Amino acid sequence: MSKKRIRVIGLFIAVLSLAVLSGCGSAKKKQKATTKTTEVASTTEKENISKNKDQQTITSSATTEATTKVTTSTTTSTAKKTTKATTETPIATKKDEQKAAVKATVTYNGFSDTNSVEMKMSDGSYEVMIVEKEDLIKKLEDLNPGTKVTIRYKAKAGQANKQIIAVF
């Protein structure tokens, strides 16, 4: 290699080394400044925590009381709904199916699907009942919604809905 190239490369290395070394020095200065800032921030943070500790305790206990009240009422409300739904629609068993049929006068409200009919019971509640026999389906289709009709129905095993077995 020529002497000029060696000098240029040497000069380049020297400049590069100087830049790296000066960068390290400023990095140390930045590190010291950051450490001081962190220490000040930590001290300030500790002071704020101790000053606000009493306020946080008061706020925390008030929030806990409010949360407990809301949670309790929600839980109670949900439990009531669950219990209500469970008692209103039990699934019939084989024993239920073997019981005698019940005769009742109800108000026909119409079909909810091809083999389910909505009836308004004498106590004012509504029930969807299953109809499987074609002759009963035809009788009910001929009725107008709102017509009072006497039916016999009973439980069907595995179903929540009662089954209509006769229409009068």
Question: What pLDDT was estimated at residue 10?
Answer: 80
Q: How many domains are contained in the chain?
A: 2
Q: Which of 55, 88, 121 is the last residue of a domain?
A: 88
What the block records as the tokens of 7 is 């000098």
Contact between 128 and 116 (Cβ < 8 Å): yes
CATH number of domain containing 123: 2.40.50.140
Is the overall model pTM greater than 0.85, yes or no? Answer: no
Q: Which of 88, 105, 123 is the last residue of a domain?
A: 88
43-89 residue pLDDT tens: 555 565 555 555 555 444 444 443 334 433 444 444 444 444 445 67
Enclosing domain of residue 39: 1-88
Q: Which of 35, 60, 88 is the last residue of a domain?
A: 88
Question: What pLDDT was estimated at residue 12?
Answer: 79
80-130 residue pLDDT tens: 444 444 456 789 999 999 999 999 999 999 999 999 999 999 999 999 999
Amino acid (one-letter) located at 44: T
Q: Which residue has the tokens 């409300």?
A: 77
pLDDT of 165 over the 90 cut: yes
- Residues 142, 81 share a domain: no
